[in-house]
Structure 1
Amino acid sequence: MSQIFISYRRDDSAGHAGRLEEALERHFGTRNVFRDVDDLPPGQPFPAALQARLRGANLVLVLIGPRWLEAERDGVRRLSLPDDYVRMEVAHALGQGIPVVPVLLDDAAMPPANALPADLRPLVHRHAVRVSDAGWSDDVARLVGALQAELGPRRGHLVVRRVLLGALLAGGAALVAWWALTPQLPPFPAGRWQAEVRYDWGDTYQERFEFTRTGHTIIGSASFLGRARDIEAVRWADGLLSFETHSESVMGSEHRVSTHRYVIAPEGDALRVRYSTAGGFGAPPPMVFMATPLK
């Protein structure tokens, strides 16, 4: 079950939620961090699936951006609606005694208690942390340190080892079981891959990826809109390959550089690719797609 549950409002903090999920997965493992955009299996009833994930959570992060409090639906503030998913998530966590950490994004402020419905007011008494774009790396490192203190370092990766190691010390017969149940990280996804990607504006492209690793050096390319681009800021850790590429957009006389971020997790014979972009003329939502070997 998920250990860290990320609660966020999509039209308030979807971009930050995706980046934070990627950072936390590097430290705690992909199976120990939950965010609804791509972690719910298809076909599950949404509220029931969220409640099941919350029941398995050891800690809930509540991402609060500039529109978290005042977001509306049909002219009514969403937090005032009993069926608002964000309200349901936070109220359930507070009511069940699950540790809740408010994460204030950039210049967002903690809402005053009198602006919240009664079941959310205990949130203002929880110690908040701030995460900003300007200080992202340092802020996330401090957050990870606080979570490790609460959950235990690398708990998701080590819990099975700790339990079975006790059995191993009790008797040599547990050796086979320990090795059989210890989580194995997937191999580096070397080779050439392809994916059909439909972007938020409606166009579909056949994107290609190529990765090579020699020792600690990783080189490769990832295409965007069908054009191959060198990968940068590459990291391979805990079974996740993350990197960036860049492209330039032009609107009239204005030029902007977009940063495309990818986090790739091998899944069987395919790759699960989480993609997000920032810095261009729009703010498209993060997306997830599958890549298969290029034949």
Structure 2
Amino acid sequence: MPRIFICYRRSISYTFIDAIEHELVEIFGNKNVFKDDSQEAHKFTPGATWEKETIARIKWADYVFVVIPLDWEFVVDDKTQQARLWHEKDPVRRELCLAKNYDKNIIPMLINRRAFPTTDSIPEELWFLEKHTAVILQDDEINKLKKRLAPIRMNILKRKLAKFAILIMALVMVSSIILLILLPGSATPNDRNDLESAPLPSATSSPPEVDYSGTLTAIPLTVAADLASELTETAVSITSTYNANTTSTAQSDLGTLLAQSSIDAANRFYMQSTDTAQAQQTLNSENTAIALTTIYTQNQQQIYQTETAYAIDSWAMNSNLATQRALEIGLTMTALYDPTETPTATRTSSPTPTETFTPTSNNVQRTMWVNYIRTEPYRANIRAHPLTSADRLDSVAQGEEVSVIQEIEGESVSNSTVWYQVRTNREIVGFIHSSLLSEYPVPTLAASNTSAVSPCTSGSMNGTAAGLFQYEGKRSQSIVLTAGRSIQVTLSVSNAIVPYGVGIALVNAQNTDVASTDVVTGESTSSFTYIASSTGVYRLEVRGESRHTYNYSVSWIC
């Protein structure tokens, strides 16, 4: 049987990792699949170091599966703000190099992406990955993965069943021979008549039919009854309890489903629900934040909206509350919610709150931009929680626009506990620390007799660029340009160091650079000229490099 080593980055979402591992274990067996995490600790040799055990496991494996999700190459170390792959001791990098050195069969798995990382975004010793044929999977393709692996599973199952059938037949034949020898004539006609006349089981022993007429539909029961095999007995017991007590309140049913909820249950709920739209909202993506936020914002029944909102708030504010638990609560509330029912449902014992939930944080949505990050890869992480140790859901580039959903308290970073819940251009919802975002209010042109920002004539600004895009002194200036008007900008730097330096960019109202230049050598000057294509407010912005301090001077004339 092939032996498989799964190489992955722990900080990414575990949903894909667990699904991939689950499918591989079902096919090849638990002993033949290795994934390096705390759940696999029992597979380590007692007393072995990570390095020795990893080397041994990679030597042991026939195949190395490399999980490469979106922005895999841009995952940064929160302390150094550098891409982890560029660290020589990075575990993922070391595992891949070992797999190459031991000439293992490497199978890259591209998650939510269509291409390998570019060569300039990963160390040269990892360029070999592109030579291997990859498996491409999207968020909605776990089932496709299962289908792809199904023929393999079926063949293995057939072989196992064939061996099992042969063994059973052999045992039956041997047992028959022994019985014929040791117990001749034991099955008398009277015995057979007794067996044939034995009464059938009473019809009353079958489970009673249940009328699911309350707000709880059969969907939660389907979830409970269709869990993994190790939960079957518990699921049957809980289902029987519910069937025997049709007057249970929504609250007790909530506890019932909470006890059984899991990602597995969520997927089954999604696949089996007759209400596709509601199921899609529940399982909007692998992203818990999106699922919970969607439930909160789109659920119109007051009782469920309120309780679900409290679940979201508790999940966001309490770092001790696991993401899984929050998802369980959210899924439960959605399972209890039937859009076709009215608030006057049969189960009148459910408590109805007197007021809706009002978040204490600032919910005014606005647009902000990602600050200029200090080091490569110049990206900021979007986290699943307002914590630097939380799972990374996405990353955003310097200057990228995000929509702020709300401000929220979280882990203290740089003496600030303010985090933003944001939505990226890729519709990913997560958390980012406030120090990584800036808000640039765009001035509007006033009436002809007054002006919010004076029309461009000439001006200058001076300062010190200390670190990449971190400044002492003035660093930007808003300027009004009318269509067809030109502006000439000159940048002077007194101590630039090759290949680093200071740059100046002209940014339009859409936060797009329309012109720029930079200085990277000694005491140098550089300039550009731009003719405005439309009337509006532009921004001159100074930019710098990460390891040096520069004195700069910017002047312009229109």
Q: Taking structure 2 as the reference length, what is the TM-score of the superposition?
A: 0.31
Deviations 1:90-131 (A, max 9, x none): 111122110111101123631123432222111011111112
Query: What does residue 56 of structure 1 align with?
Result: 60
Query: What does residue 265 of structure 2 align with?
Result: 244
Distance 1:154 1:56 in 2: 21
Closer/same/farther in 2, CA of residues 108 and 65 from structure 1, 3 Å limit: farther
Deviations 1:251-291 (A, max 9, x none): 67584899xxxxxxxxxxxxxxxx96785776787xxxxxx
Contact 2:5–2:58, Cα closer than 8 Å, also in 1: yes
Distance 1:255 1:62 in 2: 37
Query: What does residue 219 of structure 1 align with?
Result: 236
SS in 2 for 1:227: helix
Query: What does residue 51 of structure 2 align with?
Result: 47
Query: What does residue 22 of structure 1 align with?
Result: 22
Contact 1:2–1:56, Cα closer than 8 Å, also in 2: no
Closer/same/farther in 2, CA of residues 24 and 142 from structure 1, 3 Å limit: same
Identical counterparts, % of pairs? 23
Q: Are positions 1:142 and 2:169 aligned together?
A: no
Closer/same/farther in 2, CA of residues 130 and 144 from structure 1, 3 Å limit: farther
Deviations 1:157-204 (A, max 9, x none): 97xx8xxxxxxxxxxxxxxxxxxxxxxxxxxxxxxxxxxxxxxxxxxx
Distance 1:53 1:221 in 2: 41
Distance 1:31 1:119 in 2: 31
In the alignment, structure 1 segments of 5+ residues that lack a partner are 162-208, 234-241, 259-274, 286-295
1:28 Cα deviation from its structure 2 partner: 1.3
Q: Identify which of structures 1 and 2 has the higher relative contact order when contacts are C-alpha pairs closer than 8 Å and 6+ apart.
A: 1
Closer/same/farther in 2, CA of residues 70 and 278 from structure 1, 3 Å limit: farther
Distance 2:23 2:59 in 1: 23
SS in 1 for 2:129: helix
Q: Are positions 1:11 and 2:15 aligned together?
A: no
Query: What does residue 36 of structure 1 align with?
Result: 36
Query: What does residue 236 of structure 1 align with?
Result: none
Distance 2:324 2:30 in 1: 17
Query: What does residue 84 of structure 1 align with?
Result: 90
CA root-mean-square deviation: 4.3
1:133 Cα deviation from its structure 2 partner: 2.3
Contact 1:12–1:67, Cα closer than 8 Å, also in 2: no
Deviations 1:68-98 (A, max 9, x none): 1011221221111111000011111122110
Question: What code does the residue aligned with 2:63 have?
Answer: L
Closer/same/farther in 2, CA of residues 139 and 63 from structure 1, 3 Å limit: same
Query: What does residue 102 of structure 1 align with?
Result: 108
Choose from 105, 125, 129 the match for 2:131.
125
Runs of 4+ in structure 1 deviating by more than 3 angstroms, as ranges, are: 41-44, 152-155, 230-233, 245-258, 275-285
Choose from 217, 228, 244 the match for 2:256.
228
Contact 1:4–1:32, Cα closer than 8 Å, also in 2: yes
Distance 1:94 1:153 in 2: 30
SS in 1 for 2:256: strand
Contact 1:8–1:62, Cα closer than 8 Å, also in 2: yes
Deviations 1:18-61 (A, max 9, x none): 12111211111111111112113475422222111111111011
Contact 1:129–1:143, Cα closer than 8 Å, also in 2: no
1:13 Cα deviation from its structure 2 partner: 3.9
Deviations 1:127-155 (A, max 9, x none): 1111222121113432566xx59xx9649
Query: What does residue 115 of structure 1 align with?
Result: 121
In the alignment, structure 2 segments of 5+ residues that lack a partner are 164-229, 240-253, 270-281, 283-290, 297-304, 313-322, 331-383, 392-558
Question: What code does the residue aligned with 2:135 have?
Answer: V
- Number of residues paired by the alignment? 201
SS in 1 for 2:140: coil
Greater Cα radius of gyration, structure 1 or 2: 2
Contact 2:2–2:28, Cα closer than 8 Å, also in 1: no
The structure in which a higher percent of residues are strand is 1
Q: Taking structure 1 as the reference length, what is the TM-score of the superposition?
A: 0.54
SS in 2 for 1:91: helix
Question: What code does the residue aligned with 2:90 have?
Answer: D
Closer/same/farther in 2, CA of residues 77 and 2 from structure 1, 3 Å limit: farther
Closer/same/farther in 2, CA of residues 220 and 105 from structure 1, 3 Å limit: farther
